[in-house]
A and B are shown apart, each in its own frame.
Chain A
Amino acid sequence: MNEASRDVTILLAQIESGDREASDRLFSLVYDELRELATAQMRQESVSHTLQSTALVHEAWLKLIGNRNSSDWKNRGHFFAAASQAMRRILVDAARTRQRKKRGGDLRRQELFADDLETQSDEELLALNEALEQLQQEDSIKAELVNLRYFGGFTNKQAAAQLGISTATAERYWTFARAWLRSRMSE
């Protein structure tokens, strides 16, 4: 068991016992891990290739947790919840970097993703991010649901279990959140 992996295990136990700070530490740990994985992929690859963020999240899980505790859904849930947040952050940062570059503010090659992503979707992603932040203020559980489902690749059922709500409720929240976010994004 490597150091990061041991940390994650401890953090998950702390989250389970209600330590809120542990969530933040888990987030930053997963965030670092995801960035490292993505960057490593970029360096190794010289071929056209599509990576999915959900695949990256899964990869991080396997690296940090492996098959230990894999049946423990609660741990898995906490981890993937943190990972969805981290993935959102990474994606948003990348989009911002590209936007900045597009405006000519920074011609130096930025880090990960800087060259290769289509910028067309960046504006949309940034708008979504802003709307989500707003939703977080007004109704955090729905924002979290969107995080899990969209950035974390959770199914509705998994997200419902993670949030401790019924799948029917989760489905309703999703319907509402979609309408709400869209209304904010088209404003």
Chain B
Amino acid sequence: MSESISNSERIFFEAIDLPRETRLAFIEESCGDDTELRRELELLMASHDQNEADEFILDRAVPGGTLHTATIAETAGDVIGRYKLLERIGEGGMGLVYMAEQTKGVRRRVALKIIKLGMDTRQVIARFEAERQALALFDHPNITRVLDAGSTTAGRPYFVMELVRGVGITEYVQGHELKLPDRLALFTKVCRAVHHAHQKGVIHRDLKPSNILITQYDGMPVPKVIDFGIAKAMDQQTLTEKTLFTRYASMVGTPQYMSPEQAEMTGLDIDTRADIYSLGVILYELITGSTPLEAKELKGLNALALFETLRDANIETPSLRLSRLQDETASQQDARPQIPPPISVPPARIQGGLDWIILKSIARDRRERYHSAMALAEDVERFLAGDPVEAAPPSKQYLLKTLLKKYRTAALSVFTTAILLLLAASACFVLALSNYRTNERLTQLNTQLSKTVDQLQKAEAQIRATALQDKYATAISIAFMQYDVQLEHIQMSQAAFEKPTGNQEGLTANFNTLGFGFNPDDPYPELLGLSQRKLLKSALQPIDDWLTDDCAEFEIPATMTDEDLINAGLMIEDPGYDEVDFQKAVEQRNSLAVDVRDQFFRYLLNQYRRVFGEDDPRVAEALNLLAGCLIEMGETDEAEARLRESMALGNEHNQSVARKLLQFAAQPKPRQRSESPLQ
């Protein structure tokens, strides 16, 4: 390196790290009285600014590197074989498409695609003929058949297809502003068509939006997959010079949809899963309006770099991409007019389910993809129906959440069940902590928790099986059946604490499944040292999240904070718990429907009796609460009986509450739901 350039380079880099307005002063200072150096740096700085501001020759593709060869040979009016060209209707990466009329045999209009890349026409046609039988077996409303192939007088191959008037699928869904479910429904049709072809042994190899045309029949969008058999015919088994070049060049066209194994160009081992990959990319684009790797990222890469990028690049999940694009669109209105606006769906809606479906489809390792296009379609349909998707990682929380969303009305009861189970489990756990602080005995809790998890799953299965969208009461009764079973388990496990065995890992796993969030590496003494509050908070957090979601669905104010839930949980365990907080928690309960509260307080009563004994003052509190509910429901007889039970047990406060309630119970009319007797 010459000395002058190393000098100017040093100052150059120091200068560009400075704020723009101070750069010239810095240069002046650095150069001292070396005016030549100073002139040089000012020039470099100006050029650097220009480079930042506009395009320099080095930012473009090699200008002379694109070689334009001679002009198009065929025009409208020309006759090719049995076909007369009528008008040019499209131009793709591989060739030009004409509308043509068949002049011999059946008179019909067809689409005729003339391949423009240089390749060995004889081989192309031979390969097409080899696959022709399989293609002839296609009988699917969403696949456009390739009818014929031949060679033009200029020696280029052409393909004749059924004529489809339509636009590419991405253009269609954006132009018609299709909603998410409609987009997905359209997509599953495409998957089924591709599956049909796969069953006939034909791989498309070049699925992309421009090969999936949408036409309208009776106002309904109908997809037509075109070009089946063409990519294969144009591919080659033997790596000859011409075809290799062609392959590379055609690859340069739309690498975004190409699977990594295709980009690797070994070319010998492409199977149906390459199509699954392309379908996954298309689904990604249908939702976010962009492909996982955008064209600009892949532009100009050489083959090796392209393969490396497809293999190694980090893929943004669709929901993240969507939320980023939505933010961008919102913030810079017309800044990117060429990019269609992203679908207006909250990204959270595709998070989980649809994210997983897409990521599974575009897995780099094809063994991780769906085994068939049908399996992909079915998973998308599961998502549409609100069922858990197959692509999901095996997490019980996800399953529960999906079910909660699906069976909205029943969901609240699932929530109730879950609370009950968790309260029971935590009560049990806390009992275990206080009574038996040894490692071996703690692990006994594992048995019980395993069963809790089992019960949660069974409850979920039953709710799902009965599909009680509006049969709230039935759902609750199922929940309570589960609860009874659960109580038995608690009793059983309490007994089991006496017998030591050890299964720390299983215990931790079960806690984590229930949302306790333990670190399996924590030593058990620390685990034991977790405060009750923290334990309950972590246990109840997911439930509270669901509640917030589902309350919105039910139009119930989500007044129960996690603090309240914790209070509710703590009242069971802590004899000295502050009564004001207790009342507050109970009041929050009043935002739930009266029948839910009725069930809840019955649970509470049973639980208190079991945990604290028949004659504990807290049993009186529960009796009062239940009685309040009963009065609200008009069940004054039972209310009265409960209150008398309470009077016999309670401390002064409880007795005075009971007395007041008795007055309410004695009144002839049931009170309105909104006026709780406790308020």
Contacts and interface: CB of A to CB of B under 8 A. Distances in A.
B674 interface: no
B65 A59 contact: no
A69 to B, nearest CB: 13
A59 B72 CA distance: 25
B69 A172 contact: no
B239 interface: yes
Given A41-B69, A48-B68, A121-B64, A182 B47 contact: yes
B151 to A, nearest CB: 13
A180 B47 contact: yes
Chain A interface, >50% SS class: helix
Nearest to A116: B68
Contacts of A55: 245, 248-249, 252
B4 to A, nearest CB: 8
Interface in B216-258: 239, 241-242, 244-245, 248-249, 252
Contact of B12 (A48, A76, A80, A179): A179
Interface of B: 1-2, 4-6, 9, 12-13, 16, 40, 43-48, 50-51, 56-58, 61-73, 116-118, 154, 156, 239, 241-242, 244-245, 248-249, 252, 266, 300-305
Nearest to B154: A46
Contacts of A31: none
Interface stretch (A8-16, A19-27, A148-156): A148-156
B62 A150 contact: yes
Interface in A72-121: 76, 80, 87, 91-92, 94-95, 112-113, 116-118, 121
A139 interface: yes
A6 interface: no
Contact of A41 (B67, B72, B266): B67
Contacts of A162: none
A183 B12 CA distance: 13
26 contacts: A41-B69, A41-B245, A44-B118, A46-B154, A47-B72, A50-B66, A52-B252, A55-B248, A58-B303, A62-B239, A63-B241, A63-B244, A116-B67, A137-B2, A141-B1, A152-B302, A154-B302, A175-B48, A176-B13, A178-B48, A178-B58, A179-B47, A179-B48, A181-B56, A181-B58, A182-B56
Interface in A28-53: 37-38, 40-42, 44-53
A3 interface: no
B301 A183 contact: no
A158 interface: yes
A59 B244 contact: yes
A49 B248 contact: no
A50 B117 CA distance: 9
Contacts of A46: 69-70, 73, 154
Contacts of A187: 43
Given A46-B154, A138-B1, A146-B58, A51 B47 contact: no
A87 B65 contact: yes
A25 B462 CA distance: 78
B248 A58 contact: yes
9 tightest Cβ-Cβ pairs between the two chains A and B = A53-B65, A121-B63, A182-B47, A179-B48, A91-B64, A183-B47, A153-B302, A45-B69, A47-B116
Contact of B9 (A80, A146, A176): A176
A92 B116 CA distance: 27
A48 B88 CA distance: 15
Contacts of B117: 49
A48 B70 contact: yes
Contact of B47 (A37, A80, A137, A186): A186
Contacts of B9: 176
A42 B249 CA distance: 14
A96 to B, nearest CB: 10
A54 B116 CA distance: 20
Nearest to A174: B58
A178 B51 contact: yes
A95 B67 CA distance: 12
Nearest to B303: A58
Given A139-B5, A178-B51, A186-B47, A42 B67 contact: yes
B245 A37 contact: yes
A117 B68 contact: yes
B618 to A, nearest CB: 68
Contacts of A155: 301-302, 305
Contact of B241 (A38, A59, A113, A186): A59
A183 B40 CA distance: 9
B313 to A, nearest CB: 12
Contacts of B304: 76, 158
Contacts of B56: 178, 181-182
Contacts of A58: 248, 302-303
A184 to B, nearest CB: 9
A44 B70 CA distance: 10
Contacts of A94: 64
Contact of A138 (B2, B12, B305): B2
Contacts of A67: 239, 266
Nearest to B63: A121
A170 interface: no
A122 interface: yes
A71 B118 CA distance: 29
B222 to A, nearest CB: 33
A182 B50 contact: yes
Given A55-B252, A158-B304, A182-B48, 12 more contacts: A48-B68, A49-B117, A50-B68, A52-B62, A94-B64, A139-B6, A151-B65, A155-B305, A158-B305, A178-B51, A181-B56, A182-B56
Contact of B44 (A113, A158, A183): A183
B68 A91 contact: no
A86 to B, nearest CB: 12
Nearest to A73: B304
B300 to A, nearest CB: 7
Contacts of B62: 52-54, 87, 91, 150-151
A52 B301 contact: no
B306 to A, nearest CB: 10
Contacts of B241: 37, 59, 62-63
B632 to A, nearest CB: 71
A160 interface: no
A130 interface: no
A163 interface: no
A62 B301 CA distance: 16
A185 B13 CA distance: 21
A54 B65 contact: yes
B61 to A, nearest CB: 7
B63 A172 contact: no
B396 to A, nearest CB: 43
